[in-house]
Amino acid sequence: MLQSALLTAKRVVVKVGSALVTNDGRGLDYEAIALWAKQIAQLQKQAKEVVLVSSGAVAEGVLRLGWEKRPTRLSALQAAAAVGQMGLVQAYETQFSKHGIGTAQILLTHADLTDRERYLNAKETLLELLRLGVVPIINENDTVVTDEIKVGDNDTLGALVANLVQADALVILTDQKGLYTADPRKDPEAKFVPEATAGDPILETMAGGAASTLSKGGMITKILAAKRAARSGATTIIASGREPDVLVRMGGGEHIGTQLISRHAPLHAREKWIVDQLRSKGRVVLDAGATDALLKQKTSLLPVGVKAVEGEFVRGEVIGCFNESGQEIARGLTNYSSSEIRLIKGRHTNELAAFVGYEGHPELIHRDNLVIMA
């Protein structure tokens, strides 16, 4: 009999979808928020630390501003988020206080997680709040976010936070039961998937095909979030938030929804930071020999194995390493800028100084700064 990973998890990230918080977009559902607070309070009594990632600010802002529908203009969306965030946090604070639990508002952007110093500061703040028994309530900082610094959806944000705090489990609560082999609304033969391995490529096919981690909503973002969370060893549970006492029951070991197990050895902190860059600054395309050396021999990346360079970046930034089929196989911190790599790609180590004008690193990316993604 399957057992919920929440039973043994000590640190948990819970992501609650907008439909569950706003009564399908009709404004904050205060009764639902009261139930989430009650359930998380019970998880705390089970000696679990809980971080809450909650959607709902924009929907609440639209209601408070008296608008008939969600706007499309960026500045209007940012205004709605600013207004709605006040109500969202106030509602959570009111309900958690009934259980003697303090709350803290944390608004993040991808830029906060890209910068190494800000990343570490966010991590230490969250860990200190958990030590104090406070429930951090996290949302994307939609009031200032642009496409350049946008995480994109709260499923991905939940995974990033799970990696940040080294959570044992990520729970994604939605209005769906979990993952099916196909869309059950279109395929009567679709079967429910109670458990699978996070990162298994077939899951993306089940969820509707591969997609960008920046696409909003849908099962695919949850599958990709589970894949990301698995890199730090976290198991992801995708379950219906309509299930009565869903968190409490899972905390007691009951298997609910789809459980996506991490088979990864947890990455080290620096590796997690490298992997959690949603948008690398650029990419290099590798030949078959370099691809094989990275994947099988775990070597550094040398310029001789590079066939092409895409994007503009400077030394020390995170770049992706792609094979000739377009698959990202690794990611790391480059020792050379994009303009320099264009000069030295395909060159042997003893030739580099003649092209860049100085004695640089023999490696384009040292293996200590390289994380395998495939």
> Strand 328-333 and strand 283-286: pairing?
unpaired
Q: Tell me the average pLDDT across 237-245.
A: 96
Enter the pTM of the model. Answer: 0.82
Tell me the C-alpha to C-alpha distance, in Å, between residue 26 and each of 23, 87, 94, 260. 5, 14, 20, 31
Residue 316 pLDDT class (50, 70, 90 cuts): confident
Position 70 confidence tier, pLDDT thresholds 50, 70, 90: confident
Judge if 259 and 161 occupy the same domain: yes
- Asked, for residue 228, whether it belongs to a domain, the answer is yes
pLDDT of residue 142: 67
Q: How far apart are CA 60 and CA 90, in angstroms?
A: 12
Percent of the chain with pLDDT over 70: 94
Looking at mean pLDDT, say which of 6-20, 216-230, 275-289 comes out highest: 6-20
Predicted local distance difference test score (pLDDT) of residue 22: 86
Spell out the residues 6+ positions from residue 20 whose beta carbon is closer than 8 angstroms to its own. 29, 32, 173, 174, 175, 241, 242
Residue 214 has pLDDT above 60, yes or no: no
Residue 210 has pLDDT above 50, yes or no: no
Domain extent, residue 260, equals 11-272
Number of domains in the chain: 2
Q: 226 in a domain, yes or no?
A: yes
Both 54 and 85 in one domain: the answer is: yes
Tell me if 3 is assigned to some domain.
no
Pairing of strands 328-333, 370-372: antiparallel
Q: Are residues 285 and 236 in the same domain?
A: no
44 or 147: which leads in pLDDT: 44
| 236 belongs to a structural domain | yes
Residue 1 confidence (pLDDT) above 80: no
* 99 & 194 share domain: yes
| Neighbouring C-beta atoms of residue 100, cutoff 10 Å | 9
pLDDT at residue 19 is higher than 80 = yes
Say whether both 285 and 244 belong to one domain.
Answer: no
Residues 247 and 345 in one domain: no
**218 conformational bin, left if phi > 0, alpha if psi -120 to 50, beta if neither:** left
Residues 368 and 234 in one domain: no
Residue 263, pLDDT score: 85
